[in-house]
Amino acid sequence: MAKKDTTPQTPRVTNRKARRDYELLETIEAGIMLSGTEVKSLRNGKGNLNDSYAMVEKGELFLLNFHISTYEQGNRFNHDPVRTRKLLLHKNEILRLTIQVQEKGLTLVPTAVYFNKRGIVKVEVAVGRGKHLYDKREDIKRRTQEREVRRELGNRGLGRFAG
């Protein structure tokens, strides 16, 4: 008999705009350097990834515009909500990302911030290419067609067998 996963569901901050505005090619899990009040605030689900991005500077990877609200009980030890935060990756991974961003014109977009099973904060960074307006329209058109097909199968009593 399989073991049931009893780990509590931890807060997960996602960037919903990333999938809409970018064609995501590859994702990487990175660590992040945070202060104590930032971690406590993230445990309460007080993070916002909208309009945030990652960039490589002097061989290091940084996350910019990631808003973490101040911790209510933090008093004078609180943090700056929109400070630049360092992402932790191996040197060869950063080098590979740098080459991709410079040569191919791609960008680094954070898609999610979450706590792993050990309780450590991780950031999911994706290498993406910006979508054009017509690409977005094609995605919307494809989704509506899939939705209509599912609806029709459901009306015929076949919905439970559809993939």
- Per-residue pLDDT averaged across 134-138, rounded? 77
Could you state, in order of their start, the residue ranges of all structural domains in the chain? 13-131, 132-163
Helices and strands per DSSP (H, E), number in the chain: 4, 9
Note the CATH number of domain 13-131. 2.40.280.10
Whether this model's pTM surpasses 0.85: no
pLDDT, tens only, 85-113: 899 999 999 999 888 888 887 888 999 88
